[in-house]
């Protein structure tokens, strides 16, 4: 099994994420990472899905995803030609923050909240360094990714999205 990162453009409508996640669950796939957010078009959202599976089952699920009415486009992002980052927020006071090019985003009397972005390996290394000192709380996003260079999956090939009144 290999890791695959899919970028899925969908209509920004209620229930779309549930239908997409349900399709993966019915096939018995575990989603390693799932991140959803708006795009440059308010009526379209981007879902980044990371799964570990073989090529053939991935192709089957992708075909089924394409059949869903609210799915506009699906692209598999190749690791060498994409920028991939995760966000992590850690509450802990440490000088190590500068070492990992992280930022302090909140300061309280008993804790400092740190924000770091990077690939999975960098964030895992930061967590490993901070663990002996105690991490009070941790929250981590799923991976978001975008292709390098001028290529865009949100080009003019998208079918028009009907706006509801």
Per-residue pLDDT tens for 89-108?
A: 877 655 677 888 888 888 88
Answer whether 39's CB lies under 8 Å from 20's CB: no
Rounded Cα distance, 3 and 23, in Å? 18
Asked if the model's pLDDT at residue 11 lies above 60, the reply is yes
Task: State the pLDDT confidence band at 46, using cuts at 50, 70 and 90.
Answer: very high
The model's pTM is 0.67
pLDDT of residue 161: 56
Compute φ and ψ for 64, nearest 5 degrees: -65, -40
Alpha-carbon dihedral of residues 47, 48, 53, 57, nearest 10 degrees?
30
Q: What is the mean pLDDT of residues 76-101?
A: 80
Buried b (16+ CB within 10 A) or exposed e, 46-74: bbbbbbebeeeebeebbeebeeeebbbbb
Answer whether 39's CB lies under 8 Å from 9's CB: yes
Helix then strand then coil, % of the chain, to nearest 5: 25, 40, 35
What is the residue-averaged pLDDT of the chain? 85
Task: State the pLDDT confidence band at 152, using cuts at 50, 70 and 90.
Answer: confident
pLDDT of residue 94: 53
pLDDT of residue 44: 92
């Amino acid at each position: 099994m290999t890791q695959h990162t899919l970028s899925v453009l969908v209509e920004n409508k209620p229930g779309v994420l549930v239908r997409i996640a349900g399709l993966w669950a019915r096939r018995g796939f575990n989603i390693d990472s799932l991140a959803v957010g708006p795009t440059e078009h308010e009526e379209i959202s981007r879902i980044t899905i990371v799964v570990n599976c073989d090529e053939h089952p991935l192709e089957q699920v992708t075909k089924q995803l394409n059949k869903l009415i609210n799915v506009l486009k699906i692209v598999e992002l190749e690791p060498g030609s994409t920028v991939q980052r995760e966000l992590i927020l850690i509450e802990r006071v440490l000088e190590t923050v500068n070492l990992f090019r992280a930022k302090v985003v909140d300061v309280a009397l008993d804790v400092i909240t740190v924000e770091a972005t990077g690939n999975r390996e960098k964030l895992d290394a930061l967590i490993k360094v901070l663990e002996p000192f105690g991490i009070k709380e941790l929250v981590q996003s799923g991976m978001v990714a975008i292709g390098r260079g001028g290529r865009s999956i949100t080009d003019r090939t998208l079918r028009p999205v009907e706006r509801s009144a």
